[in-house]
Amino acid sequence: MAGEFVVYGERGWGNVAVEAGLTLIGAPYRVVDAGASGPERPPQTVTAQVPVLELPGGEIITESAAILIWLADAFPQARLSPPIDSPRRPAFLRWMAFVSSSIYALYWVRDVPGRVVDGEAAQAQVKTRLAERIVRGWGLMEAGITPGPWLLGEDLTVLDLYVTVVSRWTPRGPLHDHIAPRIGAVVRRVESHPRLAALWAERFPLGLDPDEG
Ligand SMILES: N[C@@H](CCC(=O)N[C@@H](CS)C(=O)NCC(=O)O)C(=O)O
């Protein structure tokens, strides 16, 4: 596919997984700052959230999991997803959807509990409960996969990129060391991937902990 992609997003937010995918694919792209401090979010989206990927032809894709799956399928030579007839395809789709719906989606409330409840005490409780739920989600995934070097075995996929970004949000340290150590080991491998090191340093350095994301 010729032409440039445009990624709308912010440092440390879910769009960094999309940037990682495009980097491994080797496709040309530019990033538009559409985060808290950036200019307006792309008006084409329903939720006004990022990531948003604009294709070279101008079409828009939203939803991080959909974007990553589409990219992997559109560039099969990059081998970033198990092919449709692979025995690993069901697990790939299952965990991509799980990370999106059972973990990532919770941050919309966890980061700003005032979106759903009033009062300091209630908001603190919602924050705690959702943190527990997020931890439980990672625990379920840890128990449900048998990683090789990468989460689905021998080949790195966009699931590894997605999990690396989403699992870096709270509670990163305990999560990677204790709650989901096998996932943590894969995340460290993704973080030190030679073709991604520069991206992580610039777009999601360790120590950057966007409370929203
Ligand atoms: N379901 C969406 C969630 C996207 C999302 O929560 N994005 C965050 C950044 S990581 C965002 O835009 N936050 C700002 C807001 O919700 O206003 C997806 O998977 O792409």
CA distance 93 to 49: 22
Q: Which pLDDT value is given to residue 5? A: 97
* Angle between helical axes of 158-166 and 15-25 (0-180°, round to 10): 150
How far is the centre of ligand 1, averaged over its atoms, from the C-alpha of 210 (Å)?
Answer: 12
Determine if ligand 1 sits within 6 Å of the CB of residue 105: yes
> How far apart are the CA of 49 and the centre of ligand 1, in A?
5
Of the candidates 122, 98, 96, the one whose C-alpha atom is nearest the C-alpha of residue 109 is: 122
For residue 209, the 8-state DSSP code is: -
Give the tens place of pLDDT for each residue, 123-181.
Answer: 999 999 999 999 999 999 999 999 899 999 999 999 999 999 999 997 777 888 889 99
Note whether 110 and 152 are same-domain residues.
yes
Q: Is the CB of 5 under 6 A from ligand 1?
A: no
**Total tally of structural domains belonging to the chain:** 2
Domain that holds residue 69: 5-78
Is 209 within a domain?
no
| Minimum mean pLDDT range among 20-34, 152-166, 168-182, 194-208 | 168-182
Mean pLDDT value across residues 14-41: 89
pTM, whole model, 2 decimals? 0.95
Residue 184 pLDDT > 60, yes or no?
yes
Same domain, 36 and 74: yes
In a domain, 153, yes or no: yes
Residues 109 and 47 in one domain: no
141 and 93 inside one domain: yes
Same domain, 45 and 106: no
Rounded Cα–Cα distance for residues 194 and 48 (Å): 33
